[in-house]
Amino acid sequence: RGAMEGARRVPGWTPVDFLILRHGQTTWNARGIIQGQADAPLDDVGRAQARALAEFLAGDGDANLSARRKSGLTRPGLPVVTSDLSRAVDTARVLADALVRARARDDPTRLDPGDDRDPSDEPEQIVATNKLRERHVGRLQGLARLDAKAADPEAWRA
- List active site positions: 23, 134
Are 80 and 89 within 8 A, CB to CB?
Answer: no
- Written as one string, the DSSP assignment of the chain is --TTTTPPP-TT-------------BHHHHHTB--TTS-PPB-HHHHHHHHHHHHHHHTTT-HHHHHHHTTTTT-TT--EEEESSHHHHHHHHHHHHHHHHHHHHH-TT-SPTT--S-GGGSPPPEEEEGGGPPPP-GGGTTSBHHHHHHH-HHHHH-
- Distance of alpha carbon 36 from alpha carbon 78, whole angstroms: 28
